[in-house]
Amino acid sequence: MAFLTKLTKASSLARAGLSRCMSHVPENTVYGGPKPQTPDQRVTLNLLKQKYRKGEPITVVTAYDYPSAVHLDTAGIDICLVGDSASMVVHGHDTTLPISLEEMLVHCRAVARGAKRPLLLGDLPFGTYEANTGQAVDTAVRVLKEGAMDAIKLEGGSPSRITAAKAIVEAGIAVMGHVGLTPQAISVLGGFRPQGKNVCSAVKVVETAMALQEAGCFSVVLECVPAPVAAAATAALQIPTIGIGAGPFCSGQVLVYHDLLGMLQHPHHAKVTPKFCKQYTRVGDVINKALLEYKEEVTNGSFPGPSHTPYKMNAEDLNGFFKELDKLGLDKAASAVTAAAEKMNTAQKPDPQKSQSD
């Protein structure tokens, strides 16, 4: 009887322990679902909705590779956008048009390996979704399945783009829209020109944003429009607006990684630096300085010195190596071994005069 009592207590404790172990499982999900969101866990659409309802600004930065993704992850950025701007800042093109879907997928996969917390958003590149809704859905599916993204972004607000956005949403994929200056449309816009500067254009920006919301988009980017136009669109919508060159009245902001870090001037920016780009630092200057110092030290022979030559042979092996080379008739190589060993020993010995002065 005492044994059964102990067994019953043990079973109760086990159940309690199991309950504690599974306490992270939401009660209202069928298969358990994701863990509750905490500041250290993945950003989801639900978390973004919560921020939006609370009036908390949403942060978005582009990333194109593993290192940049890790930096965004460490900084706690909300959304990591794998933008088609990679065409310019990574591949060196004048516009975003040349980059292919295959190239974008490579960038997406690299970013997904580095960014564990942000929502991962992949751009649909030019020429991969305009033909029909079937092409748009197929491309979006590839960005999620092969690129490991959480959602996609597409540009424009023409009827065909609205239809494409709606079809992608109905396929079960979250979509962010993009209005105002849409870089993929520079052929019809006449270049990288701000939009919404007259009444007709301003109304079109607001109406297009509303149409994208109606199509099911969870958010809309407003690029290069006057602040009052962005404020109007933000007030008219019930989803977050993400501004870039659109003033401070949006629900969040996005900048290109290379721009905000001052890493370099890509082909377009070398000619016209966008007025909305704030450089929070000048990483490019730091990189250039480091490369020049490296070149100088390699040239004058100061690098690598003893502190960066860590791998050594003991005296016995060194002597044996010398003899084997000598047996092989490699006199020059054997002499090089002796000279290198003597030079490293001399370099590692402390300077007596310096020791006395210390």
Return the active site residues: 223
**115 vs 108: CA distance, rounded Å:** 10
Question: What would the two tokens of residue 4 be?
Answer: 């059964």
| Cβ–Cβ under 8 Å, residues 219 and 48 | yes
Helices (H), the chain: 2-21, 45-54, 66-75, 86-89, 101-114, 133-145, 159-170, 186-189, 199-214, 227-236, 257-261, 267-271, 283-300, 315-327, 331-348, 352-357
Q: Which residue has 């701000």 as its token pair?
A: 194
Question: What would the two tokens of residue 85 be?
Answer: 């701007």
C-alpha closest to that of 77 among 254, 263, 281: 254
**154 vs 167: CA distance, rounded Å:** 12
Question: What would the two tokens of residue 261 be?
Answer: 């870090």
Q: Which residue has 């679902």 as its token pair?
A: 33
Name the DSSP letter for residue 304: S
